[in-house]
């Protein structure tokens, strides 16, 4: 709460005293902001100061040690000090006023040519206008900073120990669970069903981005009521990267809460979502795609990726392009849909294997026995990693030996993860091409009008990407603005028969 200084007139320049109180988290204890104000007011009256309510400044539930945190009341008080209106500040402890050496140095620079005394109820008086006062203040703020950092380290260590023992370490309510009386967690049935659904869909071959788009379109919200992003859902399913090998996600269960996903499901999700990009399906940015060919279409002059803007695909200079090539978006998309439809018919007539309707290329069956062997080996490695950590903690292994053993195990873990990622299926949306190219369907009308939802645009992109590896667009050979299909060069996905497109746009030649 910032005090009201409206009654402090501009001509009221007589130096006076102020009270400042702050607490990081108010829980009703004896050091609450209200108690601090009462104690400071009593001390001020004992020294002959009468502090008006307009000069009482309080910051509630605000930390003074966290980087980037603003304290509105503190900033208002500093402004009055800089104007010479406040020369004495009463605080319960100096750490309530400033807790970072940088803040103290800024305050010393501010009052270099002014009078400022800080009366601390439990730390004595500090006069920042004298060398001894400044030296004492610097010594105290250094100790406060050290104690703040040590407290943070103890809290982090305590939480890490709880997680290592399979216990809930506290914090905001996690998605999929509700807080249980007396500690621990209980399953939230509705949210747990969304976790299971997303895991099933991703392990069946769908992209993380498509699941996120679907959740947002269905108004499925996060634990805090916000929209989903790929990184947020990924943390729910596989945990944070720095805890991948020692502490899995909460949905894997723990000592004081039940599991939502099995250990094998979490391991397979980790493999699919954390392996290097060459071992898993491409995951485009979920909020950037407004044109379905974004990421597939490139400029033939400079090789830069073209972006959709204003109804055109353009080679944009702001993205490092040459700026000399553009093509009408809807006409080109319809042309490529027609090419794919004719290509499917050509492969049927030629007696060649027809690509899978959903993915564009045949999907290899999953070797379940080999995958089970990989999972057993993965869980064995994770057990050995836990044993190395325990041996380091009790002094059985030295830091050097434990680090070498851990690095070796983590490298093996990474190799198995990559192999698991390759073992999973990939799945594009089930969109029949004969429906997409039907001119009188509602879907195609909305497509041509640019009225598709984000999820439908992602579906169409995935459907294009299942057949097309890339599309190069050449500049117009003349000033005519009519669509010229000869400007387009398509590189098909591996396994799809290569064909040449005739300028008549009605037949295939090979």
In the block, tokens 């009521």 appear at: 225
Q: What is the mean pLDDT of residues 204-230?
A: 87
**What letter does residue 314 receive in the DSSP assignment?**
E
Q: Return the higher-pLDDT residue of 482 and 442.
A: 482
Model pLDDT for residues 261-270, shown as the tens digit of each residue = 998 888 888 8
Q: How far apart are CA 153 and CA 147, in angstroms?
A: 10
Least confident of 32-46, 66-80, 231-245: 231-245
Closest CA to 355 of 428, 282, 280, 281: 428
Phi (first) and psi of residue 420, to 5 degrees: -65, -40
Phi (first) and psi of residue 241, to 5 degrees: -55, -35
Is pTM beyond 0.85 here?
no
Q: Where are the beta strands (DSSP E) in 49-98?
A: 56-60, 86-91
In the block, tokens 């509700």 appear at: 178
pLDDT tier for residue 510 given thresholds of 50, 70 and 90: very low
Q: How far apart are CA 494 and CA 361, in angstroms?
A: 8
Instruction: Specify the DSSP element, H or E, that contains 89.
Output: strand 86-91
Model pLDDT for residues 406-440, shown as the tens digit of each residue = 888 888 888 888 888 777 665 544 444 444 444 44
User: Please, is 285 exposed, middle or buried when counting C-beta atoms within 10 Å of its C-beta (0-12, 13-18, 19+)?
Assistant: exposed
One-letter-per-residue 3-state SS of 169-204: CCCCCCCCEEECCCCCEEECHHHHHHHHHHHHHHHC
Contact indicator for 64, 22 with CB cutoff of 8 Å: yes
Closest CA to 183 of 168, 200, 164, 198: 168
Beta carbons within 8 Å of 280's beta carbon, 6+ residues apart:
272, 273, 421
Model pLDDT for residues 361-412, shown as the tens digit of each residue = 444 566 788 888 888 888 888 888 878 877 877 778 888 888 888 888 888 8
User: Please, is 470 exposed, middle or buried when counting C-beta atoms within 10 Å of its C-beta (0-12, 13-18, 19+)?
Assistant: middle
Q: How far apart are CA 289 and CA 302, in angstroms?
A: 22
Least confident of 44-48, 162-166, 349-353, 478-482: 349-353
Closest CA to 269 of 417, 402, 377, 403: 417
């Amino acid at each position: 709460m910032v005090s009201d200084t409206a009654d402090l007139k501009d001509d009221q320049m007589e130096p006076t005293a102020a009270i400042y109180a702050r607490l990081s988290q108010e829980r009703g204890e004896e050091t609450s902001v209200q108690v601090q104000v009462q104690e400071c007011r009593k001390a001020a009256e004992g020294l002959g100061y009468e502090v008006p309510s307009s000069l009482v400044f309080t910051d509630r539930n605000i930390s003074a040690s966290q980087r980037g945190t603003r304290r509105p009341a503190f900033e208002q008080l500093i402004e009055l000090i800089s104007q010479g209106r406040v020369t004495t500040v009463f605080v319960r402890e100096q750490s309530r006023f400033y807790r970072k050496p940088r803040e103290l140095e800024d305050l010393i620079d501010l009052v270099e040519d002014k009078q400022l005394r800080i009366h601390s109820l439990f730390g004595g008086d500090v006069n920042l206008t004298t060398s001894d006062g400044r030296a004492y203040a610097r010594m105290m703020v250094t100790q406060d900073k050290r104690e703040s950092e040590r407290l943070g380290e103890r809290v982090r260590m305590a939480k890490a120990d709880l997680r290592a023992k399979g216990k809930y370490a506290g914090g905001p309510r996690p998605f999929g669970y509700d807080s249980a009386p007396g500690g621990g967690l209980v399953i939230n049935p509705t949210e747990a069903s969304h976790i299971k659904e997303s895991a099933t869909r991703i392990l069946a071959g769908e992209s993380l981005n498509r699941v996120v788009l679907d959740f947002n379109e269905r108004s499925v919200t996060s634990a805090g009521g916000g929209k989903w992003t790929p990184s947020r859902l990924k943390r729910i399913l596989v945990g944070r990267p720095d805890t991948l090998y020692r502490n899995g996600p909460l949905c894997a269960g723990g000592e004081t809460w039940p599991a939502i996903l099995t250990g094998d499901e979490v391991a397979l999700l980790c493999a699919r979502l954390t392996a290097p990009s060459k071992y898993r399906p491409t995951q485009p940015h979920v909020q950037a795609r407004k044109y379905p060919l974004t990421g597939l279409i490139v400029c033939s002059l400079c090789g830069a990726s073209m972006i959709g803007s204003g109804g055109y695909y353009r080679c944009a200079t702001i993205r490092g392009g040459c700026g000399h090539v553009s093509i009408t978006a809807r006409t080109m998309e319809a042309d490529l849909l027609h090419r794919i439809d004719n290509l499917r018919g050509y492969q049927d007539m030629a007696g060649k294997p027809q690509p899978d309707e959903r993915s564009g290329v045949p999907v290899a069956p999953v070797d379940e026995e080999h995958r089970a062997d990989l999972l057993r080996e993965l869980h064995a490695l994770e057990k050995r990693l836990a044993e190395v950590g325990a041996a380091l903690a009790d002094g059985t292994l030295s830091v050097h030996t434990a680090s070498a053993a851990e690095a070796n195990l983590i490298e093996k873990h990474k190799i198995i993860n990559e192999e698991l990622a390759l073992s999973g299926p990939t799945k594009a949306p089930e969109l029949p091409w004969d429906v997409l190219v039907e001119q009188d369907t509602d879907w195609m009308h909305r497509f041509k009008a640019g009225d598709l939802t984000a999820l439908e645009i992602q579906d169409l992109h995935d459907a294009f990407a299942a057949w097309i590896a890339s599309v190069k667009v050449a500049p117009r050979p003349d000033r005519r603005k009519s669509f010229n299909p000869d400007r387009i060069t398509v590189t098909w996905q591996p396994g799809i028969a290569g064909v040449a497109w005739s300028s008549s746009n009605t037949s295939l030649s090979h």
